[in-house]
């Protein structure tokens, strides 16, 4: 289940480019020219030949222009060349840690699954910034939520819950509201701590916001099972299956994949 939903996220994954104010650099300076070249590069598809050529020129004009190194790293990450991505992004972080640490941390967690390195970056970022830490490259995750997930993956459930709750509070205070998966992650963290009542509360809140998301029904079903309410557990898991199939039906790649798996299973059964 988790792998399917990760696939859905990756299919639509984009790396957002921030708007830059080139006037912050002295007129006629190499870094002003680099910034203007970078602005021109952003008009072309990310990772395209022209995009990369222009960002390379920007980095050559002003080697201390961090956004150029950051953007040059993106195609390597998308292609799974993590070594070259790391070389590029480390240069960018060294030049501008406050603005790029969050990006490196999020990508380390989402793509490389390097929880320890990601958490180190999140903690360092937290020491450099006050309040809201920002969002992941795709814009759908509060970085503090991801910091909490790192703690959770390392078995530090109390700290995970603390960070996720803080992220929700910060989001509501700053007008961003609750993130798409915030209540779900908080509920799962409570469930892992065997606090079924708190988990149930947040899964219910999650469904009130996003009723078509199948994962929530799966974990809510586990809550009913823990309460020994087996009929409700079964009916909730049926809802999970229903909404999962609804999502799969909308994605041609998944339909093709399911057909291929079905043929393989059928063939294996005949052997």
pLDDT of 12: 40
Residue with tokens 């007129």: 27
For residues 88 and 67, what is the distance between their CA atoms, to the nearest angstrom?
A: 11
How many helices (H) and strands (E) the chain has is answered by 14, 0
Give the pLDDT score at 265.
52
Query: What integer pLDDT is reported at residue 17 of this predicted model?
Result: 56
Contact at 8 Å (CB) between 132 and 111? no
Structure token pair of residue 185:
């992650």
Percent of the chain having pLDDT more than 70?
Answer: 85
For the stretch 200-216, pLDDT in tens is 999 999 999 999 999 99
In which band, very low, low, confident or very high, does the pLDDT at 268 lie, cut at 50, 70 and 90?
low
How far is Cα 102 from Cα 110, in angstroms, rounded to an integer? Answer: 12
Q: What confidence score (pLDDT) does residue 5 get? A: 41
pLDDT of amino acid 137: 86
User: What does the pLDDT read at residue 254?
Assistant: 61
Report whether 101 contacts 123 (CB < 8 A): no
Q: How confident is the model at residue 9 (pLDDT cuts 50, 70, 90)?
A: very low
Beta carbons of 149 and 160 less than 8 angstroms apart? yes
> What is the mean predicted confidence (pLDDT) over 31-57?
93
Reported confidence tier of residue 261, pLDDT bands at 50, 70, 90: low
Mean pLDDT, rounded, for 142-165? 97
Q: Is 142 helix (H, G, I), strand (E, B) or coil?
A: strand
Given a cut of 60, is residue 21 above it in pLDDT?
yes
pLDDT in tens, 67-113: 999 999 999 999 999 999 999 999 999 999 999 999 999 999 999 99
List the beta bridge partners of residue 142: 135
């Amino acid at each position: 289940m988790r792998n399917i939903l990760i696939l859905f996220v990756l299919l639509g994954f984009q790396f957002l480019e921030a708007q830059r104010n080139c006037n912050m650099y002295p007129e006629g300076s190499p870094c002003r020219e680099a910034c203007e070249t970078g602005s021109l590069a952003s008009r072309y598809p990310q990772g395209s030949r022209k995009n990369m050529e222009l960002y390379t020129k920007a980095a050559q004009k002003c080697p201390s222009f961090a956004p150029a190194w950051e953007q040059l790293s993106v195609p390597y990450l998308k292609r799974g060349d993590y070594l070259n991505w790391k070389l590029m992004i480390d240069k960018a972080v060294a030049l501008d840690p406050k603005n790029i640490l969050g990006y490196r941390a999020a990508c380390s967690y989402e793509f490389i699954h390097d929880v320890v390195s990601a958490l180190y970056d999140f903690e360092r970022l937290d020491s450099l910034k006050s309040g809201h830490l920002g969002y992941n490259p795709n814009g759908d995750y509060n970085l503090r939520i991801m910091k909490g997930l790192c703690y959770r993956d390392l078995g530090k459930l109390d700290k995970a819950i603390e960070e996720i709750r803080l992220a929700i509070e910060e989001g509501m205070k700053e007008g961003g509201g609750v993130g798409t998966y915030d209540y779900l992650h908080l509920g799962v963290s409570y469930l892992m701590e065997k606090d079924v009542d708190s988990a149930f509360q947040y899964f219910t809140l999650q469904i009130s916001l996003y009723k078509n998301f199948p994962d929530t029904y799966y974990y809510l079903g586990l809550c009913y099972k823990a309460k020994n309410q087996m009929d409700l557990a079964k009916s909730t898991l049926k809802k999970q299956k229903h909404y999962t199939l609804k999502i799969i039906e909308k994605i041609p790649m998944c339909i093709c994949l399911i057909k291929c798996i079905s043929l393989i299973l059928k063939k294996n059964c005949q052997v």
